[in-house]
Amino acid sequence: MKAVGARLPRYDGVGHATGRTAFVDDIRAHGTLWAKALRSPHDYATITRLDTTAAENMPGVRAVITHADVPLLEYGHLSALGIPADEPLLAKDEVRYKGQPIALVAAETTEQAADAVAAIEVDFAPKTPLFDVRKAFDADVSQPHHWGTVYPHFEESMDRRQIRKGSIEKAFDDADKIISGVYRPAAIEQMPIETQVCLSVPEPDGRFTIYSCTQALYFSMGVVAAHMQIPLNRLKFVGGTVGGGFGGKVDTATETVCTLLAQRSGRPVKWRWTREEEFLCSSTRAPWHMEIIDAVTDDGWILGRKMLTLHDAGAYARFSPYGVTKHSFHHTGAYTIPNLHFDGYVVFTNRVPTTAMRGYGVTSVSFAVESHMSRVAEELGIDPFELRLKNANRIGDTSPNGIAYTDPSTVDVLHAISEATGNELAPGYAAASRQRRAGEWLPDHLLAQISDTEVH
């Protein structure tokens, strides 16, 4: 408890405040080449021709790589967990989002690298892109992914993350009111101060020293080793100063291509994304489409919730199955609802692939749940604090995936907010605690539902 409530100095505060912190882009290596990428100008298209001959002969160019130069082209961000890979490091036969990298050039200067990229000859046959997750289930919709429009590899080859708890039919039969809402938070760019950047240095002993802004050093090391099909002990990762991440630098895209270019050229290679590339091509927080239908009583008990979530993964899966899984386990928020029917889909579109940002999968559903709780309170004419306190998680209640709560803080937090905002609670609600539900605080039939519900 030495840290709780104490004013502790940040270990990196002085360096940041005085400008002495060394970020990845501050690292210099003798003889460094600069990388630039040929990126797709189309949202969705077949690559009909790719010729790098002219670029390879441009002044200052020391290496050019395409998909043919990657030993293992597809290695998924969740491959280590047995999730099938679906995204090529460099596009091979088609591009699925605007900005997808197709080829990389390493040259003596950034200007020479950019000129060489412009000299690469590439032809496309554009296809109809999909941008709206709500159209993913239409019969005539464009298929943005070789798996179709939705991710099909949840347990038992299911195409959704599914939760069934209690009897949603009985909850709706017993309800006094059915209250629904649709919530659609949009994509957000994490906006790091330092863009995606990497420097890969080939060492005389055949190893590579990689200076990376990744948020997950050992994870990124495994990704590079897998793509290059080399042992981990040939890689040394140097990081620690991310330069702003917030989740957007978990799946960094620079380390492997820089190392491939360094291997090809025998020189250090740095790839620094422009701010335009960061905005247009880096992973964003995903857009979500969430539909909530609650079965409620006139006095404010939430008997059941039916929820549909469409998560926009963009062009490839990356971490989206994990994000939807977290999302599903939190879809009741800080409240106990005995009867649940949840379906969550990872939907593919031709947007840039999406990734983590500040509470991946949970922030979005928290926004939806709290917005919906306020809607329920308004329609029932109940104080929003009292509605929340009535349905707040207590010790012994169970989460959507069947985990018993041992120390929930919902009641304490609501009391603190109520006090801080000058909201006066009725005596019964002011005296509420996190302890197990008993007596008149919960009707017997609901108490039995909460303790005996089955989860699927």
pLDDT tens for the chain, 456 residues long, are 788 889 988 888 999 999 999 999 999 999 999 999 999 999 999 999 999 999 999 999 999 999 999 999 999 888 888 889 999 999 999 999 999 999 999 999 999 999 999 999 999 999 999 999 999 999 999 999 999 999 999 988 899 999 999 999 999 999 999 999 999 999 999 999 999 999 999 999 999 999 999 999 999 999 999 999 999 999 999 987 899 999 999 988 899 999 999 999 999 999 999 999 999 999 999 999 999 999 999 999 999 999 999 999 999 999 999 999 999 999 999 999 999 999 999 999 999 999 999 999 999 999 999 999 999 999 999 999 999 999 999 999 999 999 999 999 999 999 999 999 999 999 999 999 999 987 444 555 565 555 555 555
Q: What is the model's pLDDT at position 446?
A: 60
Q: Whole-model pTM?
A: 0.93
Q: What is the model's pLDDT at position 252?
A: 83
Q: What is the model's pLDDT at position 168?
A: 98
Q: What is the model's pLDDT at position 316?
A: 97
Q: What is the model's pLDDT at position 78?
A: 86
Report how far residue 429's alpha carbon sits from residue 147's, in angstroms, rounded to the nearest whole number. Answer: 50
Report how far residue 159's alpha carbon sits from residue 454's, in angstroms, rounded to the nearest whole number. Answer: 22
Q: Phi/psi at 62 (nearest 5 deg)?
A: -115, -15
Q: What is the model's pLDDT at position 454?
A: 54
Q: Phi/psi at 338 (nearest 5 deg)?
A: -75, -25
Q: Give the bridge partners for 307, in sequence order.
A: 292, 342
